[in-house]
Amino acid sequence: QKEVEQDPGPLSVPEGAIVSLNCTYSNSAFQYFMWYRQYSRKGPELLMYTYSSGNKEDGRFTAQVDKSSKYISLFIRDSQPSDSATYLCAMSRYGNNRLAFGKGNQVVVIP
Chain residues binding another protein by CB under 8 A are: 4, 6, 8, 32, 34, 41-46, 49, 51, 88, 90, 92, 96-99, 101-104
Minimal distance, residue 35 CB to another protein, in Å? 9
Separation CA 28–CA 19 (nearest Å): 26
Measure Cα distances from 12 to 40, 72, 75, 103 in Å: 16, 20, 14, 17
CA trace torsion 62, 73, 46, 51 (10° rounding): 90
Separation CA 89–CA 102 (nearest Å): 5
Minimal distance, residue 104 CB to another protein, in Å? 6
Which CB, 4 or 19, lies closer to another protein? 4
Minimal distance, residue 38 CB to another protein, in Å? 8
Which CB, 18 or 46, lies closer to another protein? 46
Contacts of 78 (CB under 8 A, 6+ apart): 16, 18, 60
Minimal distance, residue 37 CB to another protein, in Å? 11
Which CB, 49 or 61, lies closer to another protein? 49
